[in-house]
Amino acid sequence: MNTKHIFILLVGFAFSGITATAQNCTQSIRQTQVRQHHRIHQGIHQGDLTRQEVRQLKGQQRHIQKMKRQARKDGHISYREKARIRHAQKMANRNIARKKHNHQFQY
């Protein structure tokens, strides 16, 4: 093999690693959403969340879904878009935990 073939192989491996990393990133965003939905429903069934809290948390989840749809519109989620989505998810996680443990119960 000459150097040209080796270079082409190296570039191919580099791009395959980039796409695998991007898929893992979007998969982790999806898994976070699933876990958050599960935690909200768990809070509903245990009576830890009031109706107003559930409404607020579900609204936040809809906002994150909208951000994801907007980011995917062009077929590629940029680093900045991923960072914004992850930040919104982090804030949602914090809100879920606070609302589940604020000693307000559904009656």
Q: Please write the tens of the pLDDT for every residue from 52-93.
A: 999 999 999 999 999 999 999 988 889 999 999 999 999 999
Distance CA 1, CA 100 (A): 62
* C-beta separation of 36 from 92 below 8 A: yes
Domain annotation covers residue 52: yes
Confidence (pTM): 0.72
Q: Which pLDDT belongs to residue 107?
A: 47
Domain annotation covers residue 17: no
Domain annotation covers residue 69: yes
78 phi-psi bin (left φ>0, alpha ψ -120 to 50, beta other) = beta
- Domain containing 49: what range? 29-100
- Please count the structural domains in the chain: 1
Domain annotation covers residue 80: yes
For the stretch 19-62, pLDDT in tens is 444 556 678 889 999 999 999 999 999 999 999 999 999 999 99
∠ Cα 69 75 78 (to 5°):
80
Domain annotation covers residue 68: yes
Domain annotation covers residue 12: no
Domain annotation covers residue 14: no
